[in-house]
Amino acid sequence: MLRIKKLLALAESKNRFEADAAMAKAHELIARHNIDLIRHEVAHPFLSIFIGSPALRHPRENYHLANLLQDYYFVSGIWVSAYVLEKGKMGRVLEISGSAQNLKIAEYVHRFIVQFIDAQWLKYNHHKNLNRFRKTDFAVGIIEGFRNKLESNVAKMKTQKDFFALIHRGDLQLKKYFKFKYPHTVSVSKAASRQDTRVLNDGKKLGKKLVIAKGISERKDGKPLLITNRQ
């Protein structure tokens, strides 16, 4: 975690190539650490946390972001029932499961990307007056653009024959934990009914340039979003 924090600090560099290299190295370290645990079947405890806010309806980008976390940050996710206080009704919230370290990283990435989307949308939509549906197109584009960037980085890590196989297989211990907690689950997919391809592609361009860095964004309380070692 300390090495990852240092690399994400380097990702704040104004030099784009240096920032990209630091983020890629941080993701490589995350992947190799988890692959070593999987390969040697090291026993480690798992936890589950809610991420994001409960809502009656979640926009499509929330599901894309949830899938990104599962595919690249060694966590498992499921949408569970949760009370939406301001509406006085039951809604849903994303719950992710994994090791304490992976949960911290996934939660940080989730917050970072959400804040990045909101900030970039304000700039992009200035004087355009686009509606909420176009923000979803823009956000999905950013997430998918960032996914393409991660896929490219993973391809460069192909130094061992079983590396990709282990990544795609995932952590069998985590799958066992998840199956025990939720023995009956249903997968649901929903395609976009309408989307603006131009807005989507503009988002993708930004997503391909996105660099997850330490301490760039701040929460509403003014404190930086840092990965810490506190449990």
pLDDT, residue 136, reads 96
Q: Which residue range(s) make up the domain with 110?
A: 2-209
- Tell me what percent of the chain is helix, strand and coil, each rounded to the nearest 5: 55, 15, 35
Q: Considering the domain boundaries, does residue 167 fall inside one?
A: yes
Could you list the mean pLDDT of each consecutive 10-residue stretch along the chain, which spans 231 residues? Answer: 81 85 86 79 87 95 95 92 95 95 93 96 94 96 95 71 59 88 81 86 96 60 43 30
What residues are paired with 92 via a beta bridge?
A: 55, 81
Would 215 be classed as within a structural domain?
A: no
Q: Write down the pLDDT at residue 198.
A: 96
Residue pointed to by tokens 């946390």: 49
In a domain, 217, yes or no: no
168-220 tens-digit pLDDT: 666 888 989 999 999 988 777 766 678 899 999 999 999 999 998 875 334 44
Could you tell me which of 211, 194, 48 has the C-alpha nearest to residue 132? 194
On whether residue 226 sits in a domain, the answer given is: no
Biggest CA–CA distance in the chain, Å, is 55
pTM of the entire predicted model: 0.84
In a domain, 118, yes or no: yes
Torsion angle (degrees, nearest 10) of CA 64, 145, 155, 31: -50
How many structural domains does the chain have? 1
In a domain, 33, yes or no: yes
Nearest to 70 by CA among 177, 175, 181: 175
CB atoms within 10 A of CB 113: 22
State which H helix or E strand residue 119 sits in.
helix 100-124
Does residue 218 sit within a domain? Answer: no
Which pLDDT belongs to residue 164? 56
Using CA atoms, how far apart are residues 42 and 223, in angstroms rounded to an integer?
35
**202 domain-assigned:** yes
